[in-house]
Copies of this chain bind each other. A is one copy, B any other.
């Protein structure tokens, strides 16, 4: 963990270095991924099964790619009722928030007599990539699938690898609760290729979302254009803005909740009080003694953690905007006042009783968020990922008479005679 203070002469350079710090090594997997995609396009299910057998240490056949209703029912039956209730509470709250996101269509009539509009419609089919193994989180299944369901998508297909044939029952239960229509036990670039191009068993979708390893990310990049994709997910981060009125133990645990995800995760505290900073740092050290995932959290905190000491909160807001963090906790009195100065953040958690972990599970907003400073231009997953717009114009001869001559003039200037003619010949009628 490094400590920086805006009062120090070297702050600007040190903060710039913190911003530029690469937290992941980029693997060059382009050629291998291109070969897998090409093979899946040519051989379909056979290629998908070959790669799955090899990478997941199973003996996969096409008839076993899809998870069956009986398997889902069995998975659900094995889950404790209180856990199912927790999953249902989360799903219900996520649904309510995402339903509120749905935008209205636009219809307007203008002075020239044109009726103009913008109509939203759902995608027909989407594919959700769910990482397997240690990162197979049922909460992420809810967060990916529910917005698609709320948006009105007909086909919601999940691809999730089952290393050694093992699937997390709660992942199946979450998919079922969220309204997923198909689940395939296949991962990696072969899953992305199947979703993009389709096989006999896995029909093609229109858009693929969800995080994955370097092979999945590269495969998404390569199929982009054929289908839509979401952003390339990087390691997670949190910025906690906190004054000395907070319990240092709370802040320390919030920082460690981020750090325990991944050694590449980043937790940053911004505070105006040096003694409070000391107390939080000490509390982190204490808490690390108790956590099962202490080794991961410790590595993250040592390598990427930071405490930034600021002179005032307006300085803090300016640092937040440069960091553009995935998660922002504002643990100040009147947090909305601070939040009003924030332009770039994926999701914000306002108040002393809103740890980011609440947002990971049950608050309602999505936990799939832009990482690595991409909140400068990107947004969290939402219903907007699963709908698209068609604009329209309706008008009669009088409307054309009002605006047509200007269009003819511009088309002629651009040398597009047929464009100009298509308007001019109607003006003469």
Footprint of B on A, CB under 8 Å?
A: 82-83, 85-87, 89-90, 93, 96-97, 100-101, 103, 106, 108, 110, 112, 114, 116, 118, 121, 123-124, 134, 137-139, 170, 206-207, 221, 224-225, 227-228, 231-232, 247, 249-250, 253-254, 256-257, 259-261, 287, 290-293, 297, 335-336, 339, 342-351, 353-366, 370, 372, 374-380, 382, 384, 388-397, 399-400, 403-407, 409-411, 413-423, 425-426, 429
Whether A399 lies near B93 (C-beta < 8 A) is no
Given contacts A257-B416, A394-B335, contact A410 B350 (CB under 8 A): no
Question: CB-CB < 8 A to A254: which residues of B?
Answer: 422
Q: How far is the CA of A419 from the CA of B259 in the complex (A)?
A: 10
Q: How far is the CA of A124 from the CA of B260 in the complex (A)?
A: 32
Whether A228 lies near B377 (C-beta < 8 A) is yes
- Least distance between A336 CB and chain B CB atoms (Å): 7
Given contacts A118-B365, A231-B225, contact A418 B388 (CB under 8 A): no
Question: CB-CB < 8 A to A374: which residues of B?
Answer: 225, 228
- Least distance between A264 CB and chain B CB atoms (Å): 15
Whether B206 lies near A403 (C-beta < 8 A) is no
Whether B407 lies near A360 (C-beta < 8 A) is yes
Q: How far is the CA of A138 from the CA of B409 in the complex (A)?
A: 12
Of the A-B pairs whose beta carbons lie under 8 Å apart in the complex, a sample of 19, sorted by A's number, is A90-B406, A101-B118, A256-B422, A257-B416, A257-B419, A259-B418, A260-B418, A260-B419, A291-B421, A293-B417, A347-B392, A353-B426, A361-B406, A362-B403, A365-B392, A365-B393, A375-B388, A378-B388, A379-B390
Q: How far is the CA of A12 from the CA of B85 in the complex (A)?
A: 49
Q: How far is the CA of A419 from the CA of B418 in the complex (A)?
A: 63
Q: How far is the CA of A345 from the CA of B359 in the complex (A)?
A: 36
How many identical subunits does the complex contain?
A: 2
Extra pairs beyond A100-B106, A224-B224 (17, CB < 8 Å): A85-B406, A86-B410, A100-B108, A103-B103, A253-B418, A261-B416, A290-B421, A292-B417, A347-B391, A350-B393, A354-B393, A357-B416, A357-B423, A358-B395, A358-B403, A365-B393, A379-B390
Give the contacting residue for A416; candidates B231, B260, B396, B404; CB below 8 A. B260
Whether A364 lies near B394 (C-beta < 8 A) is no
Q: How far is the CA of A363 from the CA of B118 in the complex (A)?
A: 13
Given contacts A377-B123, A389-B380, contact A418 B353 (CB under 8 A): no
Whether B103 lies near A418 (C-beta < 8 A) is no
Whether A357 lies near B206 (C-beta < 8 A) is no
Whether A415 lies near B292 (C-beta < 8 A) is yes
Q: How far is the CA of A394 from the CA of B340 in the complex (A)?
A: 13
- Least distance between A383 CB and chain B CB atoms (Å): 10
